[in-house]
């Protein structure tokens, strides 16, 4: 059966950790997904981004000043 809902259109976030400077801009925009810990390491909290957060995550990806984020649809 084909999926008709949005939930299957999940996206994944890819981080270029060499480029990331842990300034937490993404974490400020979407704290449900991005987290910078006390040691300045960025963590992606969700392996698969639900459709309800996908637009916010795309915005965060575009907002990263280091272009360290990308999305895999
Ligand atoms: S906005 Fe970019 S540079 Fe800043 S913490 Fe997120 S991925 Fe890293």
Could you tell me if residue 67 is inside a domain?
Answer: yes
**Ligand 1 neighbourhood includes 20 CB (under 6 angstroms):** yes
Could you tell me if residue 8 is inside a domain?
Answer: no
Could you tell me if residue 11 is inside a domain?
Answer: no
Boundaries of domain holding 27 = 17-72
**Ligand 1 neighbourhood includes 64 CB (under 6 angstroms):** yes
Domain count, the chain: 1
Q: What is the CATH number of the domain that holds 31?
A: 3.30.70.20
Residue to substitute in 16, 33, 66 for testing ligand 1 pocket (most ligand atoms within 8 angstroms of CB): 66
| Tokens coding 63 | 């907002």
**Ligand 1 neighbourhood includes 66 CB (under 6 angstroms):** yes
Residue 2: its pLDDT value, please? 47
Q: Model confidence over 7-65: pLDDT tens digits?
A: 556 789 999 999 999 999 999 999 999 999 999 999 999 989 988 999 999 999 999 99
Residue 73: its pLDDT value, please? 83
- Rounded distance, CA 52 to CA 47, Å? 14
Picking from 22, 13, 5, the residue whose alpha carbon sits closest to that of residue 49 is 13
Could you tell me if residue 12 is inside a domain?
Answer: no
Residue in the structure block whose two tokens are 């999940």 = 10
**DSSP secondary structure of 44-70:** ES-SSB-HHHHHHHHHHHHH-TT--EE
Give the gyration radius of the chain's Cα atoms.
13
**Is the pLDDT assigned to residue 6 strictly greater than 70?**
no
């Amino acid at each position: 059966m084909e999926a008709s809902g949005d939930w299957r259109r999940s996206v994944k976030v890819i981080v270029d950790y060499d480029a990331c400077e842990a300034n937490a801009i993404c974490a400020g925009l979407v704290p449900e997904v991005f987290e910078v810990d006390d040691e300045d390491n960025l963590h992606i909290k969700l392996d698969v981004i639900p459709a309800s957060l996908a637009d916010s995550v795309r915005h965060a990806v575009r907002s990263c000043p280091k272009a360290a984020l990308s999305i895999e649809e």
